[in-house]
A and B are shown apart, each in its own frame.
Chain A
Amino acid sequence: MKKIKNDGSYYLNPYLGGVILGTFLFLAFYISGRGLGASGAVKNSVAATVNVIAPGHVANSAYYSQFAGGDKQPMSNWLVFEVLGVLAGAFFSGIIFNRLKFKVEHSPKITSRRRLVFALAGGLIFGFGSQLARGCTSGAALSGMAVLSFGGYITMIAIFGTAFVAAWIFRKNWI
């Protein structure tokens, strides 16, 4: 089922994509004993940056000191390497499915500028929430669901439940 779009790009069948994703998620647990994630790498990068600029602050902070400072190496972390892999894998996929292109994707009804402002705000809020919930859609919800974690299911329901309501509020940005 190839639905080739005007620009020549096309997508994998979503179920096939899901099986591939699930297989890699399973392998992550089987090989490394942990799920896949993304926001953890951001957390470590932030902690590493702050550690370089203000090491004393890191040592005093109850949050940073969990994963940076002292002899901890926040950048030599499983999730940081995994995220580098994500970038490479997505890039390959972009080549194969003909999607490599610099652009700002937005609804024709809004300007690129508005889209970028909302993307920044969305990222900020998402980043904040991901720290509170100890993980994002991939790390907490998806990986948590794979090992039947109660917290993973709760996070998943909270994210998607809220997003359904919030998407309706922000519908002008999308449709």
Chain B
Amino acid sequence: MERKYTILAILLIVLALGLVILPKKNELKETDPKVLLSEAVQKSRYLTVDQVTHRIIENDPTLMLIDLRKADQYKTFALPGSLNIPPDSLLSKTNMELFSQPGKDKVLYGNADLTAEKAWLLCSRYALKRIYIMKGGMNEWFTTIVSEKPVSGTPSTADLDLVSFRKAARMFLIGTGETASTSAAVTVKEKVQVIRKAPKAAAGGGC
């Protein structure tokens, strides 16, 4: 009788000790390099400047623009509703919380693609979801939307639609339908509301 209980007691202690000495797991989820590679070669992470502009004008609530340029550049001109996150503070705790917000498409952009690509890779490695890159960055945005690119050849209907859309967008964002000079420093910066991830609702009262 006594022996049976001794064995049970030892079993319990071993089970509890097991918990203590089990190696602590890395709290942060990391994407498997192979999965990361297959994600990195896909083009689906890119959004064109037209797509992004469209969503800005529509006031898409799922859109979250993240401006990776320097603060002074951001001050001079920024897309409406964008957040300025310098690359060096990309992985700070608050920003990670920001990135892990569910139901938001996080669109990264810098002056060109390079910074955004690097930031995308880092975010994806931390298993953050719905991270996109605005293809071409702010330079591309300016050349496409602000200083309109001439459409070569005989324009198709789709091309014409695009041209008129860009014109409308210019109207909307900069206030002039004409091809503006790059000095058009317009900031329609809105106060961006940061929605912190609400703690998951636990089940109601106990006894």
Contact = CB atoms under 8 A, between A and B. Distances in A.
Interface in A113-151: 130, 134-136, 138-140, 143-144
Interface in B117-132: none
Contacts of A1: 1
A14 B81 CA distance: 64
Query: Which secondary structure dominates chain A's binding surface?
Result: helix
Contacts of A39: 207
Nearest to A36: B207
Contacts of A156: none
A143 B202 contact: no
Nearest to B5: A15
Interface string B127-167: 00000000000000000000000000000000000000000
Interface residues of A, number: 22
A91 B40 CA distance: 61
A37 B204 CA distance: 12
A69 interface: no
A40 B204 CA distance: 11
A34 B204 CA distance: 8
A70 interface: no
A138 B8 CA distance: 25
A38 B203 contact: no
Interface residues of B, number: 9
A79 B202 contact: no
Nearest to B201: A33
A40 B207 contact: yes
A34 B203 contact: yes
Contacts of A36: 207
Contact of B203 (A15, A33, A144): A33
B169 to A, nearest CB: 47
Contact of B207 (A15, A32, A33, A37): A37
A143 B207 contact: yes
Contact of A134 (B1, B5, B206): B206
A139 B205 CA distance: 9
Interface string B3-43: 00100100000000000000000000000000000000000
A139 B203 contact: no
Interface of B: 1, 5, 8, 202-207
Interface of A: 1, 15, 32-40, 78-79, 130, 134-136, 138-140, 143-144
